[in-house]
């Protein structure tokens, strides 16, 4: 077997993706492959289509044409709930009426996981993002940086195969941003590599 054949298939395969909003073409011929364990950043000027691409991968906004394959499965037309990803947006987008605990547990509660197991997982996640003992608060009682950490904890709660981050640090001040950037790298280092 040649070395190429032995190499693992790419985890995420985006093929010839197009997205049009009416007459406006936001994504044109996007093709790329991302391997398991890779940390990839999309850079480009405002309005170039970064968010649109992430939303297509998440299934929040379907592409006009082209295909997306994740872990050997064609996910192009699956609804978000049937895809395997976690997402963190630029604005924290936590549920304001739910406690921090409930925010993190939100996805887990629909999986049939036992209550005690959910509580344990939430505690573990709160520790992971450096906010133990904050579970009973509501989002408005946390700082911006803390809320963004909770959004991160919520996104990784289900151990998704793919973590999509849409400028998750841009709303934070410089100091918190540097700190959280470091934490995300650490998280990837410990959990992301195959």
Ligand X SMILES: Nc1ncnc2c1ncn2[C@@H]1O[C@H](COP(=O)(O)OP(=O)(O)OP(=O)(O)O)[C@@H](O)[C@H]1O
Q: What residues line the site for Mg ion (CB under 5 A)?
A: 50-51
The binder of ligand X chosen from 12, 14, 17, 26 (CB under 6 A):
26
CA distance 172 to 120: 29
The binder of ligand X chosen from 9, 16, 20, 21 (CB under 6 A):
21
**49 or 139: whose CB is closer to ligand X?**
49
CA distance 8 to 104: 33
Residue nearest to Mg ion (CB): 51
**46 binds, options Mg ion, ligand X, none, Cβ within 5 to 8 A by partner type:** ligand X
Other Cβ atoms closer than 10 A to 86 = 21
Residue the block writes with tokens 């985006």: 14
Residues contacting 117, CB < 8 A, separation 6+: none
* Of residues 170-189, those binding ligand X (CB under 6 A): none
**42 or 191: whose CB is closer to ligand X?**
42
Burial class (CB in 10 A: 0-12, 13-18, 19+), 98: middle
Other Cβ atoms closer than 10 A to 44 = 9
**147 binds, options ligand X, Mg ion, none, Cβ within 5 to 8 A by partner type:** none
**125 or 184: whose CB is closer to Mg ion?**
184
Min separation Cβ 32 and ligand X, Å: 15
Min separation Cβ 141 and ligand X, Å: 28
Which of helix, strand or coil describes residue 13?
A: strand
If binding is defined by CB under 6 A, does position 23 make contact with ligand X? no
CA distance 53 to 101: 30
Min separation Cβ 48 and ligand X, Å: 4
* Of residues 29-68, those binding ligand X (CB under 6 A): 44, 46-52
**DSSP 8-state assignment for residue 82:** G
Binding site for ligand X (CB under 6 A): 21, 24, 26, 44, 46-52
């Amino acid at each position: 077997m040649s070395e190429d054949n032995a190499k693992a298939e790419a985890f995420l395969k985006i093929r010839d993706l197009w997205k049009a909003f009416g007459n406006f073409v936001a994504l044109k011929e996007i093709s790329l492959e991302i391997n398991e364990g890779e940390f990839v950043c999309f850079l480009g000027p405002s309005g170039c289509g970064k968010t649109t691409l992430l939303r297509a991968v998440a299934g929040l906004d379907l592409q006009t044409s082209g295909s997306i394959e994740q872990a050997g499965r064609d996910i192009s037309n699956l609804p978000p709930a049937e895809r395997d990803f976690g997402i963190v947006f630029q604005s924290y987008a936590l549920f304001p009426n739910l406690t921090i605990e409930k925010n993190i547990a939100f996805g887990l509660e629909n999986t049939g996981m036992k209550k005690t197991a959910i509580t344990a997982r939430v505690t573990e996640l709160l520790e992971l993002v450096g906010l133990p003992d904050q579970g009973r608060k509501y989002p408005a009682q946390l700082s911006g940086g803390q809320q963004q950490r909770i959004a991160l904890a919520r996104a990784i709660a289900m151990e998704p195969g793919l973590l999509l981050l849409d400028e998750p640090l841009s709303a934070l001040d410089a100091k918190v941003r540097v700190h959280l950037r470091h934490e995300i790298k650490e998280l990837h280092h410990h959990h992301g590599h195959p």
